Each structure stands twice: as structure tokens, then as C-alpha cells.
Amino acid sequence: MLELPGHLAGWGVLPVLGHLGPVPIPSYETLVLLALASAAALLWWDARGQEQPRRGELATLAIAALVGGAAGAKILEWAFHPSLFAAAGWGALLSGRTILGGLLGGWLGVAIVKRRLGVSERRGNLLAAPIALGLLIGRLGCFLNGCCYGTATTLPWGVDFGDGVPRHPTQLYEAAFALAALIELRLPWRRRTRPGRLFGALMIGYLAFRFLEEFVREGERPILGLSPYQVMALAGLGWFLARELRPLPLPDSNGGLVQP
């Protein structure tokens, strides 16, 4: 959902948290920064037991995820809405992004850096919970700002974001998904999960959830009744399912690994 200018005046549940003197404190940007800081803090906390070289390597991968996520969030949204971004001019640099592109771009950024560093071990288990925490807080910012909203609904929890029409609070749906994922990822027995499986499970769960959520999310569906985000979610879902379901390497006689 685009965040370009054009909404009604007063759009959103609480677009401004308050004022610091004459300067307004925007809810969306504030919670996005809080999401990034909270995710980084949780990653640091979980990585305390790692050896120093591995912690440095993990920090590099986290930076790659952040850079790749920022690029992917922008590039995917630009690709889906080129005419609107062209009309926005330089303002498009500060608005318009999608968490779907952020997750896929972050994963791609990590994959590229791992290849450059020669890292073959999967490290996604440490990244999964921070990603879920960041998604949870970020979507609360979307709800307050009024972006990424849903279609009209008669359900009792419909929210009027400023046009007098009760809508699905799809931001809260995603926040609830992220909260459930975070709780599941923090269960003690999850720490014994094989390397990388938690990240793969989070991506599969989110992509499947996002595909279904798009049916009650405002936006065009020009591709056989599907939105571009649904098509991208399906593509990503197929990739991660194939990745997670492939046979595991088996040890050979020399102690190495061979693919069955």
C-alpha cells in the first residue's frame, strides 16, 4: 500500500503522537525507528553467547539484511506503482515501501553477503524473532498512520481511518500474526531447532498469511484476480517451501556432508 501524499486531512487513527515544541512527532516514523531499535536489541541479546568472530559475522549479516530490506521495500513498491512514483517526484524517496519487499530483499542481501564471506552455515534462527518483533511494532505504526488499510467491512471491529468507511484493520491482523510468531519463536524448545529452520518457517508463515490477507486489503487485483503482492508472495512461498523441504545433507565417510 502506497504511503504517498493524497489522503484526506486527518487521515489515520493517530498520525501524530504529540509535539516537541512546534515539531510534530509522527507516529509511523517513530514506531518504525522503535521497531528497528527493538529488533537490533533482541538480536544483540540473543547473540551474547556467540563467540566473538561469529558475533562479528552475525553483525555483518544483520547490516546486510537491513540494507537489502530497505532496498527491497522500495524497489518492489516502485515496480508495482511506477506511474504514481513518477508523479510524486523526489517525494517518492521518502514514501512508499512494502514489508513484503523488505523481507525478501533482506533475505537476498544476507544470501549475497554470505556467499561473499564464504559462509555456508545457516544463521537465520537468530534473526527470526527480531524480524517478528520489528514487524509487530512497525505494523502498529501503520495502523496509527492509516496506511496499509483494508477493504470496507461490516464486522464490528472495522476501523474508520478518516473517510467514514469502516475497514478491515489489516495492520492489526499482521501485528497479531507477528505477535503469535514471536511467542512461538521464543518458546524454549525452539532453541533446539536445526539452523535456519526458524527463519524459513517465519517466511513461509508470513508469505502464506500475506497472500490470504491481500483479499481483504485495499488495492487493485489485475493479475487473474490477484494483486501484485499476492503474486510475489506466491513466488516467495514456492521458493521457501522448496528450500525447506529439500533433503538434508548426510555425513560421508570422511566427516563431510553429501547431498542425498
What's the pLDDT band for 5 if we cut at 50, 70, 90? very low
Torsion of CA 90, 94, 98, 101, to 10 degrees: 70
How far is Cα of residue 186 from the mean position of the Cα atoms in its chain?
18
* The pLDDT of residue 112: 87
pLDDT at 9 over 70: no
How many angstroms from the chain centroid is the CA of residue 47?
21
Q: Check pLDDT > 50 for residue 222.
A: yes
pLDDT digits (tens, 9 = 90+) for 37-73: 999 999 889 888 776 556 677 778 888 888 888 887 7
pLDDT exceeds cutoff 80 at 178: yes
* Domain boundaries along the sequence of the chain: 25-243
Rounded distance, CA 165 to CA 220, Å? 18
Residue partners of 137: CB distance under 8 A and separation at least 6? 31, 34, 35, 38
pLDDT of residue 49: 72
At residue 166, the pLDDT reads 97
Residue 258 reports pLDDT greater than 90: no
Tens-digit pLDDT profile for residues 81-116? 666 555 555 444 445 567 888 888 888 888 888 888
pLDDT on residue 95: 52
What is the pLDDT, as a whole number, of residue 102? 81
| Residues 183, 44 contacting (CB under 8 angstroms) | no
Three-state SS for the chain is CCCCCCCCCCCCCCCEEEEECCEEEEHHHHHHHHHHHHHHHHHHHHCCCCCHHHHHHHHHHHHHHHHHHHHHHHHHHHHHCHHHHHHHHHHHHCCCCCHHHHHHHHHHHHHHHHHHHCCCCCCHHHHHHHHHHHHHHHHHHHHHHCCCCECECCCCCCEECCCCCEECCHHHHHHHHHHHHHHHHCCHHHHHCCCCHHHHHHHHHHHHHHHHHHHHECCCCCECCECHHHHHHHHHHHHHHHHHHCCCCEECCCCCEECC
**Are the beta carbons of 97 and 75 closer than 8 angstroms?**
no
Residue 225 cell numbers, joined: 484476480
pLDDT at 82: 67
Whether residue 250 is predicted with pLDDT greater than 90 in this model: the reply is: no
What pLDDT is attached to residue 257?
40
Gap between the Cα atoms of 190 and 182, Å rounded: 11
